[in-house]
Amino acid sequence: MSVRLSLLAILDQGPCYGYQLRAEFDRRTGSTWPLNVGQIYNTLDRLERDGLVEKGAVDEQGHVYWQITDAGRAEVSSWLRSPVERPAGTRDELAIKLAVAATLPGVDVADVIQAQRRASLAQVAELRAAVYPGADADGPEQLAWSLVVDSMVFAVEAELRWLEHVERRLEQRPERALGLELSTVRPKRGRPARSAA
């Protein structure tokens, strides 16, 4: 998720100081992605370095207000018009875990899947039971919160469907796993052996 561009988009609404940006980010994401203030100020420094924001007025409490530049507005506009691109490879821990488990002799992959299914079902139940913590149950903050929570529910539901798919794939194999033994073919690269001196 682009914290950088999200903060920039908020600044496109008007100048803000660091804590204010954090509060606005929380309001607009339903506090589902916690940011610390240090992260916000580091991001603001990088945005300033890149010419996308600049320091503005300082109020009587010493808050420095950051404001977006024309280049920053163009960056926000481009971001909002562009689709989110997903990386080509996976770093999904569950996918890697099940792929490895399916190739390990003696591992009951069905047990691994069941443990994950129980955790995923508990997570989706918790998300569905979540109640908006704010006072305005019909306002834009509640809508933002519910959009993020819905996304999280759909992601867990997709994970549950994928677990069913993995089970079906494994049931089609009589041995229920690939059972790869360590390869006897040695890779060409590696740490060279120490020579006896």
Domain ranges of the chain: 3-81, 93-171
CB 63, CB 21: distance < 8 Å: no
Neighbour-count burial of 32, counting CB atoms closer than 10 A to its CB (0-12 exposed, 13-18 middle, 19+ buried): middle
CB 176, CB 170: distance < 8 Å: yes
pLDDT band at 193 (very low <50, low <70, confident <90, very high): low
**What is the CATH class of 3-81?**
mainly alpha
pTM: 0.71
What residue type is 65 in one-letter code? Y
Half-sphere exposure of residue 62: CA atoms within 13 angstroms, side-chain side? 0
Average pLDDT over residues 129-136: 82
> CA nearest 26: which of 13, 45, 7, 41?
7
Q: pLDDT tens across 10-58, in order?
A: 999 999 999 999 999 988 887 777 888 899 999 999 999 999 999 999 9
Q: pLDDT tens across 120-129, in order?
A: 999 999 999 9
